Amino acid sequence: MSHEPDDLDYDTPAGKYRRWLIEIEQADKWCHDWHDTARRCLRRYRDERRNAASSDDGERRINIFWSNVATLQPALYARRAKPVVERRFKDADPIGKTAAEVLERAVTFATDSEQFDEVIKQARDDRLIVGRGTAWVRYVPHFQQMQPPTPADGVGITDDASEYEAEAPEQPGDMLVFEEVAHDYVAWADFLMSPAKTWREVRWVARRVQMTRHELAERFGEEIGRAVPLAARLQQDNSDTPEARFRDGLAARAEVYEIWDKAERKVCWIAKGYEAPLDERDDPLRLREFFPCPKPLFATTTTDSLIPKPDFLLYKDQANDLDDVTYRLSKLTEACRVSGVYDASQDSSLGRLFQEGGDNKLIPVNTWAAFADKGGLRGVMDFVPLDGVIATIRELTAREQALKAQIYEVTGISDIVRGYSAPSETATAQQIKGQFAALRLQEQQAEVARFARDLIAMTAEIIAEHFQPQTIALMSGLQEQAPEFQQAFPMAVMLLRQDAMRSFRIEIETDSTIAVDEQGDKQAATEFLTAMGNYMATSLPMAQQAPELLPVVGQGAVFLARRFRAGRQLEGAIDQAFQALQQRAQQMLQQQPDPATLKAQADEKRLALEADIKARELALREQELTFNADLKAREMGLREAEMAQAATIEAQRLQDGQAARAEARKDALLPDREAMLGESEAQMRELAAALAALGQSLEAMQQQHASTSQMQAQALAQLAASMTAPKRVVRGADGRAMGVETVFN
């Protein structure tokens, strides 16, 4: 059918259907020649020949196309792509860091499946065989029926839920129980797009899906499901038996086109034969680039069209020549056999020579005399010459090797990539070959990595835009995380919900999808550790001398770690270590008192020492006064005792009249008086010694106080000088900073 687009009314369902049917027809015509080429390449890759039994009839062929594809498959994508979500600018952003870690865990869970890995491999194979590989993403929520189930409703979780709306369950009583992102492989023949020169000019993309009657009714409703016409996929026979009709019914499918219009940001479903859209929705996934598929993996393209050129076409002539040479070699090899004639008049035993002859076995000749007269075997037998055949085989073999070299030159598949090395080649030659092969394959490897990254980024967008916080918490393992991580989780989810902030603060990448070179990986790790060790040995002493340089040293260490792929795993640990060092330095600075506090503490100690000295002086004076008063009291007691004793003696002398007797008694009392006087003098000497010791103690305390005051004054002066004195950076012979020193005048 043919309609002019200007004659259509796009507002009516029929107009929308006809408009998209015309768009699809134009896209099919645009890709028609490439589709034919892709089918031929696919048959060549599968080694499907026109005569299925031709290989048994003697035709030989080298499937160099399959060999090259099998060689490039692990070189382009050898291991599963893993998401790497980081802060875009690597700055101090705790919420951004938590959001990046949450999203990385969720995306890792969503892509850690054989389905995701298989989709990328299938797209890679399509790119290598036919020239284009495509994948598709879908948001699939799972609902659980909350109302009592009936036999018609079924029981349990509905796996065939709506692909795009989690907020609107299929039935009012349904509850969302889980969400996932499905990754679908789209066959090269089922993917359509608007004719364009570059991917940015593509206005719409579509994929063709074959659906049964049951799938149509389940997806679009019973009414539409019954009205959509079906077409049989298998070849029908002319019989009209119930078995034939049943077989045709099982094979019947409807071609449903899922069309994503980027200009209007709408999705439309149409089926050929149904004169209206099956369904239409407004931007269901809310992706930044709108399309639910990343930019396909293209083979050779030019700036005037997105129609790819399969790689096989670039060396098809050489491959055909290689097949011809192989075929000729097989024929010549069959012809290269021992054949000849012998004299029939001789004994018939000569014919048994090549049939029955074996090791250490002789054939008898009855007519030996005649046989010997004719010169033996040389005289009665001759063989077909094979020199020309062998020379031709050598030439064709050399031609075969030359054709293979041409094909490898065109494709860039060197001997190193194929795992072949000539014994005569040196290690340097092999290294040059390996580097050349890496350069030729680097762009293709980067394109496959880009495809995987875009697919992972779209998965991350769907998770951030549509998944509920409970689902994200389950996918990221929130319950097993640290308390600070759990506290920052709500703010991180809010950040993920904001498309602009998520784009500004979070960056999504993938790790290498190429096979890991263990030796190179070890060498890279060794280089990183060596560089980091040298940097730490040079910079940490400067940070110890000048703590204000510690933030600069820490940023330098993180900057160095980012330059090495092997250091990305240690980047967070290095950053945390330097943050801890900075906090410790700040705490030490905060704990160190200022000069005013030191001076106040010194003055307080000096006043306390002076007060203690005065208190001790007062106590010594009180002790001295008490001792003097006691001494005077003892002297008064001695004097009173002498006077009383003298009065007694005198009274006795007067009473007794005996002077001699009184004198004798006086002489007897004199030693007691002298003893008392000696005891008093000893106490006086002890008191004098105590006073002298007290004086020395006071003098030592005064000297200690003076020394302490002087040391405190010197410390305060040095501290003030170091704080006000200028600093000078010490540089080495190469001009680099080695330390900082204080300049004193």
Residue 660 lies in a domain: yes
User: What was the pLDDT predicted at 157?
Assistant: 32
Q: Are 624 and 691 in contact (CB under 8 A)?
A: yes
| CA pair distance 69, 315, nearest whole angstrom | 13
3-state secondary structure of 60: coil
The residues pairing with 205 across neighbouring beta strands, listed in sequence order, are 193, 260
- Give the structural domain span for 707: 595-730
Helix spans in 58-131 (H): 64-76, 94-111, 114-129
3-state secondary structure of 652: helix
Q: Which of 433-437, 626-630, 692-696 has the lowest mean pLDDT?
A: 433-437
- CB burial readout 680-699, b (16+ within 10 A) else e: eeeeeeebeeeeeebeeeee
Band (718; pLDDT cuts 50, 70, 90): low
Residue 224 lies in a domain: yes
Structure token pair of residue 33: 């020649």
> pLDDT digit string (tens) for 56-66?
445 678 888 99
**pLDDT greater at residue 370 or residue 316:** 316
Average pLDDT, the chain: 75
User: Which whole-number Å values give the CA distances from 377 to 313, 351, 365, 452, 697, in the listed order?
Assistant: 56, 12, 11, 73, 140
Cα-Cα end-to-end distance for the chain: 99
Structure token pair of residue 704: 């200690």
Q: Which among 285, 304, 323 is the end of a domain?
A: 304
Residue 25 Rama label (left phi>0; alpha psi -120 to 50; beta): alpha
- CB burial readout 261-283, b (16+ within 10 A) else e: beeeebbbbbbeebeebbeeeee
Of the candidates 181, 227, 228, the one whose C-alpha atom is nearest the C-alpha of residue 209 is 228
Statement: residue 211 has pLDDT above 80: yes
Band (182; pLDDT cuts 50, 70, 90): very high
Q: Which residue type occupies 166?
A: A
Can you give the three-state secondary structure of 405-422, one letter per residue? HHHHHHHCCCHHHHCCCC
Residue 570 lies in a domain: no
Q: Are 634 and 680 in contact (CB under 8 A)?
A: yes
The packing angle between helices 427-466 and 114-129, to 10°, is: 120
Mean pLDDT of 1-7: 48
Statement: residue 345 has pLDDT above 60: yes
Band (100; pLDDT cuts 50, 70, 90): confident
Number of domains in the chain: 2
- Element (DSSP H or E) covering residue 207: strand 204-211
- Element (DSSP H or E) covering residue 257: strand 252-261
User: What was the pLDDT predicted at 539?
Assistant: 79
Q: Which among 269, 288, 304 is the end of a domain?
A: 304
**pLDDT greater at residue 674 or residue 738:** 674
Of the candidates 323, 313, 325, 333, the one whose C-alpha atom is nearest the C-alpha of residue 47 is 323
Band (121; pLDDT cuts 50, 70, 90): very high
Band (158; pLDDT cuts 50, 70, 90): very low
> pLDDT digit string (tens) for 609-639?
888 888 888 887 887 788 778 778 877 877 8
Query: For the chain, what's the residue count?
Result: 745
The residues pairing with 191 across neighbouring beta strands, listed in sequence order, are 207
| CA pair distance 95, 463, nearest whole angstrom | 18
Residue 248 lies in a domain: yes
Band (9; pLDDT cuts 50, 70, 90): low
Pair type for strands 231-232 and 157-158: unpaired
Q: Cα 470–475–477 angle (5° rounding)? A: 95
Of the candidates 66, 516, 72, 113, the one whose C-alpha atom is nearest the C-alpha of residue 297 is 72
Q: Which of 334-348, 604-618, 721-735 has the lowest mean pLDDT?
A: 721-735
Range among 212-216, 355-359, 688-692 rated most confident: 212-216
> pLDDT digit string (tens) for 242-266?
555 555 556 688 999 999 999 999 9
What letter does residue 361 receive in the DSSP assignment?
-
User: What was the pLDDT predicted at 530?
Assistant: 82
Of the candidates 123, 121, 128, 124, the one whose C-alpha atom is nearest the C-alpha of residue 65 is 128
Dihedrals φ, ψ of 204, to 5°? Answer: -150, 155
Dihedrals φ, ψ of 300, to 5°? Answer: -70, 120
User: What was the pLDDT predicted at 685?
Assistant: 78
Band (313; pLDDT cuts 50, 70, 90): very high
Residue 479 lies in a domain: no
Residue 662 CA neighbour count, 13 Å, CB half: 15
Q: Which among 281, 304, 327 is the end of a domain?
A: 304
Structure token pair of residue 259: 């069309």
> pLDDT digit string (tens) for 543-573?
777 777 777 777 777 767 766 655 555 666 6
**pLDDT greater at residue 360 or residue 337:** 337
| CA pair distance 505, 496, nearest whole angstrom | 10
**pLDDT greater at residue 352 or residue 435:** 352
Only one residue has tokens 């990754």, namely 183
User: What was the pLDDT predicted at 566?
Assistant: 57
Structure token pair of residue 365: 């000749």
Tell me the whole-structure pTM to 2 decimals: 0.64
| CA pair distance 563, 574, nearest whole angstrom | 14
What letter does residue 495 receive in the DSSP assignment?
H
User: What was the pLDDT predicted at 713?
Assistant: 63
Band (151; pLDDT cuts 50, 70, 90): very low
| CA pair distance 699, 696, nearest whole angstrom | 5
Count of helices and strands (H, E) across the chain: 23, 18
What letter does residue 554 receive in the DSSP assignment?
H
- The dihedral built from the CA positions of residue 646, 648, 653 and 659, taken in this order, carries a sign that is negative
Residue 391 lies in a domain: no
Q: Are 75 and 414 in contact (CB under 8 A)?
A: no
Residue 625 lies in a domain: yes
User: What was the pLDDT predicted at 442?
Assistant: 81
| CA pair distance 541, 738, nearest whole angstrom | 8
Range among 137-151, 257-271, 487-501, 545-559 rated most confident: 257-271
What percentage of residues in the chain have a pLDDT greater than 90?
A: 21
Strands (E), 688-736: 727-731
Q: Which residue type occupies 385?
A: P
Residue 548 lies in a domain: no
